[in-house]
Amino acid sequence: MQLAGSRFTDATAMLGNDLATLPDFPAEIRAPAGTLHGVSAFQIHFASRDILTPGDHPNVLVAMNPAALKTNLAALEKGGTIVANEDAFTDNNLRKAGYQANPLEDGSLDDYQLFRVPMTTMTVRATEGIEGIMAKDQQRTKNVFALGLLSWMYGRPTEITVEWIEKKFAGNPGIRDANLNAFRAGYNFGETAELLAVHYEVKPAPVEPGTYRNINGTSATAMGLIAASVKSGLRMVYASYPITPASELLHELSRHKRFGVRTMQAEDEIAAAGMVVGAAFGGSLGVTASSGPGLDLKAETIGLGVMLELPMVIVDVQRAGPSTGMPTKTEQGDLMLAMYGRHGESPLPIVAAYTPGQCFDAAIEAVRIAVKYRTPVILLTDTFLANSSEPWRLPDVSQIPPIDPRFATGPNGEDGAFLPYLRDENLARPWAVPGTPGLRHRIGGLEKQHETGNISYDPTNHALMTRLRAEKVAKVADDMPPLEVDHEDGAEVLVLGWGSSYGSIRAAVRRVRMKGRKVASAHLFHLNPLPHDLEEVLRSYRKVIVPEMNMGQLVKIIRAEYLVDAESVTKVEGLPFFADELEAAILEHA
C-alpha cells in the first residue's frame, strides 16, 4: 500500500496540486495481512490552495480489508467516502479484525458514502493469462487496481503512473503487465461503473514559479548534507547504526558515492558517534543519525565532541518514546534530551527542521554552525517529516553560500608554538588536522587549559572554559535573522511552534482567522540558542500558546528563559496535530 500511495503522490504533484502526505505504516515488518496491527494506510491530502497539513480528516478511505476499515474509520470525515474491497470482507477476516457482523451490510456505515468493489476478483480477472504470473502476484496487484480507481475518481493523469510501472518492472515483463492491467482495470472500472457516481475534479493550485520535485524529509536531509559537503569541500563521513526511522538516511546517503560520501554501518550507536568524532578529528564532515534510543547511547560521545570542540552533526529523527516506544510513530519528545541529555555543563546548538523540503536547509544550517563554531550540532527532525513528502521548489545551488572550513595551517603562538584552544572572534578554536606539520597536539575528554589545551584541574580555569563553551554556543544567535512573525493587526495571541507541527499550526491559524479572530504565529528554526529577539516578540502578546507533540518541552524552556506565562497544548498520540484540533485549542485560549 505504501507503494501505491507514493505513486499517487507523484501523479498529484505533477499536476500542480499542492499536497502533503502522511504514511502511517505498521511497525512489524510483515504483520499478518488482515489483522489490525498489520494495516498499512497512506493518507494523502490535495487541494487547489497550499496544503499545510496531511493530518486532518481525509474525505476518502480505501479499505482493502476489514482491519483497514476498523483502524482508519475514526479518522475519516463524517459523510466521507469509503471504497471497500468487498472480496476481503470474509468471515475469517471479519473475525480477525474483531467485527461481529459485516460492517458493509449491517448499516453501521450509513453515515458515509459506501462503495463496495470486488477488487480482488476484478484484479485477478484483469491479470489472468499473463505469462510467468502466479496467483500470488495477481492478488498483489489489487493495490494498483485501487490506485487506478482513485486516479479516476480524482482525475489524476494516468501517464505518469503507467510510465513509472513500466520503468519499475522493466526487468520483469510478467509483473509489469500484471500491474499495468490492474491499474487500467481500476481506472476503467471507475469510469464505467455507475456505482461511483461522484467524480472529483481538483484544479491546480497557484504556486510560485520554479522547478519543483516531490521530496520527503529523509531525501531532503541527505541532499542538504551532500550540498554542505560540496559547499565546504569537506569529505563527508556518515556513520550510523540501523534504527527506525533513521536507517532510511543511511540507505539514501549510501547511494551517493558519486559525491564522495563515505558511509559506515557501525557495530552500535556508540561506535557510530565515535567514528564520526574520529573522522572529524581527521578533518572530515562527520555526520551520524539516529532516533531517540540511539541518541541516548550517543550522549557520552557527543559530550566528548563538546569538550574536543570539533564540528559534527547528529541527526535525531524523533519517534514516540520512551524506550522502544512506537518506532514508526512521530513525536517531538527529544527536545529536552537534545538540550540537556549530557552530563556536566554541555551546551550545543540545536536546529529543528519544520517541513519535509526544509530539511534541506536545516541540514546545511547544522553543518554551517558546526564548522563555524567547531561544535557538535543536533538536527531534530521526526518520523512525520522523514516519511512525508511535499512539492519542493529547488534552490539555486549557486546561491547556497560556501562554508569555509578554515583549517589551521600554521602555528598561532609564540616561537612557532601551536595553541589548540586559542579562540577566534567567534570563540571557535583552530581545526588542526593530523598530517599538518608543526601543529602536532593532543586533545581529549579531560578539562583543557585555556589556549594551550593541556590537561588542567585548575578551579578558575574550569570556570572559564565552562563559560567560554557556553558563550560560544550563545554566539550562534548573532547569525540569525529576526524571527519571522506572521502577525495580524490587533492580534494579542501568539502561537509559537517548532518542528513538524508547522503545517498544522499555519492551517489552524488560517482557520481561526477565517472565523474572524485575530491571532499571530511564529515558528522556531533554532532551538538553541534561541533568537535574540524572541523575548521581545513573546512580550508583545497578551498570550503565548505553544503546541507540541510531547508533554510540553519547548514551553518549559520558554517559561524558564523568559518568565513568560506561556500555555502548553500537547498531543502524544504518535500522530501529527490535526488542524481542527489546534483550531479548537487556539479558540479556547485566544
- Interaction residues for other proteins, span 298-327 (CB under 8 A): 300-301, 304, 308
Is 466 a binder of other proteins (CB under 8 A)?
no
Distance of alpha carbon 30 from the chain centroid: 23
Dist CA 22 CA 20 (whole Å) = 7
Is 169 a binder of other proteins (CB under 8 A)?
no
* Smallest distance from other proteins to CB 39, Å: 28
Is 348 a binder of other proteins (CB under 8 A)?
no
Dist CA 334 CA 499 (whole Å) = 11
Which x/- pattern, by CB under 8 A, does the window 224-263 give for other proteins? --xx-xx----x-x-x----------------xxxxxxx-
Is 10 a binder of other proteins (CB under 8 A)?
yes
Cell triple for 522: 511564529
Instruction: State the first-to-last Cα distance of the chain, in angstroms, to the nearest integer.
Output: 41
| 3-state DSSP assignment of residue 517 | coil
| 3-state DSSP assignment of residue 384 | helix
Distance of alpha carbon 265 from the chain centroid: 21
- Tell me whether strands 520-524 and 485-486 are parallel, antiparallel or unpaired: antiparallel
* Smallest distance from other proteins to CB 77, Å: 30
Cell triple for 179: 500491474
Residue 95 dihedral angles phi and psi, to the nearest 5°: -65, -45
| Residue type present at position 310 | L
| Unique residue bearing C-alpha cell 449491517 | 106
Q: Are 64 and 88 in contact (CB under 8 A)?
A: yes
Among 32, 210, 410, 482, binds other proteins (CB under 8 A): 210
* Smallest distance from other proteins to CB 242, Å: 14
- Site size with other proteins, rule: CB under 8 A: 72
Q: Which is nearer to other proteins, 54 or 283 (CB)?
A: 283
Among 32, 132, 444, 482, binds other proteins (CB under 8 A): 444
Q: Which is nearer to other proteins, 393 or 515 (CB)?
A: 393
Span 494-553, contacts to other proteins by CB under 8 A: none
The closest alpha carbon to 377, from 463, 494, 472, 509, belongs to 472
Span 376-395, contacts to other proteins by CB under 8 A: 394-395
Dist CA 184 CA 182 (whole Å) = 6
Is 345 a binder of other proteins (CB under 8 A)?
no
Span 34-93, contacts to other proteins by CB under 8 A: none
DSSP 234: P
Is 171 a binder of other proteins (CB under 8 A)?
no
Among 67, 271, 369, 494, binds other proteins (CB under 8 A): 271
User: In the Cβ-directed half-sphere of 149, how many Cα atoms lie within 13 Å?
Assistant: 30
Dist CA 411 CA 432 (whole Å) = 10
Using the rule CB under 8 A, give the single segment among 267-275, 289-297, 374-382, 570-578 that binds other proteins.
267-275
Among 51, 97, 225, 264, binds other proteins (CB under 8 A): 264
* Smallest distance from other proteins to CB 278, Å: 3
Among 438, 515, 532, 561, binds other proteins (CB under 8 A): 438
Using the rule CB under 8 A, give the single segment among 28-36, 50-58, 90-98, 211-219 that binds other proteins.
211-219
* Smallest distance from other proteins to CB 255, Å: 10
Distances (CA, A) of 292 to 315, 379, 529: 10, 12, 21
Q: Are 217 and 158 in contact (CB under 8 A)?
A: no
Q: Which is nearer to other proteins, 169 or 281 (CB)?
A: 281
* Smallest distance from other proteins to CB 218, Å: 13
